[in-house]
Structure 1
């Protein structure tokens, strides 16, 4: 499955390292917003945690959550289980960072999945950390992503990649994917196949993969490949990124936002009011 556009690494004769206990990693405090645990963290602490997981040979995965993820988790038991099984989930959406602050927690800003990936790649270009890319619209888009990341971060080691089909994959195909990823020996696997597929994939594949860390980053692949424009900074800071994306993909996204955004506001208002009543 890996192709010539990726770094070719001979297989290691050494056996895979045994995973360490989660207690050996830095503690990441999480607070529930509408029953979904969200990490009180920032970019640097999240990246430090990833580095620690790689250094200790952990086998964990990290989710990033927008309002869509939170609301879908309330209805999709498999997604909820996958999110709860993650080492932690960062507040990717600006409204979730606001929600955490409204509940009285000290959090500077959201941890935006595409920005987390970019900062991780920048750091990895210096440290030699090995990355694998799983996702993308097709193999051509994955090649474009690989090329752009390498141009932006000279020295970045992308050791493999695969763009899966949109249909459900057979067990034999999933086994082949696991073999390909393990052969490439990445430290971090970036997963960009969208919510809820990426969360469920990470939960299902975690025990098959030797890579210390898997991170689901949704649309980050399309953004970094230059296939989809990102919202202007002022819209991101104002919590209006959803409006920009709706304009870009109205047919795909209008039902999601029309359904989830009002329900999130109503649901969180109730949580906030309850928290106010119980606060000393």
Structure 2
């Protein structure tokens, strides 16, 4: 099994720390100035849903990240969680880790949008993998078309998709494709396959495999692939090849694309049935309890106070003591403190003894803090967690251990 240290990009962010004052009678946390072209995980507007990071980012933001990564040749691993991803991540720990280790997780399925709305996350619509592909394709006004490599899909689909893309002007130009056939992620990772992909000089690698195999293959070859942007976009390749017709926009907007997909690919009914029933169970056992617990904690501590953070830098451990509501309103205050603590490359202990409320946005920030520390060989531990808050952590999918 691949370790987080092996998979996470090291040294991706660079920053400068300096003190500032708010001018409101209380000291402000150390401010961090980032290079605008550099993105780190703590700067993402990420929420935690059932242990999976979800970025509240629209299409414009996604396209900007892709263009930046292509221009700067920086690695960008994109995942597009849908209902199947959420369900699979609950029992497959390595699959969940593949989502956590991604640099961007956009909402693909409408059920995930509905869950986000229920929790109070400001995500109004999907940013599906197929939509990202179409938006890049239609960006004919870009200075340079993104060079694309297509990997996987049914026999002949990648070649047909490439010919279609290259036959008309647009923002994508296919420079290569490969179909390894039906084999394991390990067999798809042979040296000759990786060398062929790297030799293409592409900017964007689009994999079209089963969700778990695709994520596994991308992470297995994370450090071997030279192409900066990578994503498993599933059916997007089939849509481009014309082997599968995509649902009309009205069905997609109503969250009924699954019905169309079953019409086009009848074998999918079993997956949709299993995912749907599993999700009903998760709604009852995790989502609704999370909503109720966060509402109750917020209601019983509605004092309008601010979050304060004190820091204790020891020889081996940085202790961050939080006081007040740890929620979306105060994430901007916590980010520079967390970033400075991670930069110390020590164990970080976050003390919640005086925290009166927490929400999915702050859990997402904690998820990114843990990810960033683990990439450096360090750990984050959470102490002083009340029984009610421990239930919120559990229902939200963030492990306290």
Query: Are positions 1:199 and 2:215 aligned together?
Result: yes
Query: Are positions 1:263 and 2:282 aligned together?
Result: no
How many residue pairs get matched?
261
Is the Cα contact below 8 Å between 1:20 and 1:57 reproduced in 2? no
Question: Helix, strand or coil for the counterpart of 1:74?
Answer: helix
Matches within 5 A, 1:138-153: 138=155, 140-153=156-169
Q: Distance in 2 between matches of 1:167 and 1:67?
A: 25
Q: Where does residue 129 of structure 1 map in the other structure?
A: 146
Relative distance call for 1:47 and 1:148 in structure 2 (3 A) is same
Give the TM-score taking structure 2 as reference length. 0.60
Question: Helix, strand or coil for the counterpart of 1:211?
Answer: coil
Q: Distance in 2 between matches of 1:46 and 1:197?
A: 24
After TM superposition, give the deviation of residue 49 of structure 1 in Å: 0.7
After TM superposition, give the deviation of residue 155 of structure 1 in Å: 6.8
Q: Distance in 1 between matches of 2:236 and 2:194?
A: 22
Q: Where does residue 298 of structure 2 map in the other structure?
A: 279
Runs of 5+ unmatched residues, structure 2: 1-8, 15-37, 300-401
Relative distance call for 1:269 and 1:234 in structure 2 (3 A) is farther
Is the Cα contact below 8 Å between 1:103 and 1:275 reproduced in 2? no
Aligned with residue 21 of structure 1, among 12, 36, 41:
12
Runs of 5+ unmatched residues, structure 1: 1-17
**Bigger RCO (CA 8 Å, 6+ sep):** 1
Stretch moving more, 112-121 or 51-60? 51-60
Is the Cα contact below 8 Å between 2:136 and 2:172 reproduced in 1? no
After TM superposition, give the deviation of residue 172 of structure 1 in Å: 8.4
Q: Distance in 1 between matches of 2:272 and 2:292?
A: 24
- 1:100-138 Cα distance to aligned partner (Å, 9 max, x none): 222222223110111101112333773232111112201
Q: Distance in 2 between matches of 1:119 and 1:270?
A: 37
Give the TM-score taking structure 1 as reference length. 0.85
Relative distance call for 1:279 and 1:172 in structure 2 (3 A) is closer
Matches within 5 A, 1:45-56: 45-56=61-72
After TM superposition, give the deviation of residue 171 of structure 1 in Å: 5.6
- 1:7-56 Cα distance to aligned partner (Å, 9 max, x none): xxxxxxxxxxx986156227332112111111111111011011112222
Q: Which has the higher strand share?
A: 2
Q: Distance in 1 between matches of 2:141 and 2:243?
A: 23
Q: Where does residue 391 of structure 2 map in the other structure?
A: none
Is the Cα contact below 8 Å between 1:28 and 1:39 reproduced in 2? yes
- 1:130-175 Cα distance to aligned partner (Å, 9 max, x none): 111112201x221111122223444732111111211126568521
Question: Helix, strand or coil for the counterpart of 2:138?
Answer: helix
Q: Distance in 2 between matches of 1:38 and 1:172?
A: 28
Relative distance call for 1:85 and 1:172 in structure 2 (3 A) is closer
Let me know the Cα RMSD of the aligned residues: 2.3
After TM superposition, give the deviation of residue 234 of structure 1 in Å: 1.9
Q: Distance in 1 between matches of 2:39 and 2:232?
A: 19
Q: Which has the higher helix share?
A: 1
Query: Are positions 1:88 and 2:107 aligned together?
Result: no
Q: Which is greater in Rg?
A: 2
Relative distance call for 1:22 and 1:70 in structure 2 (3 A) is farther
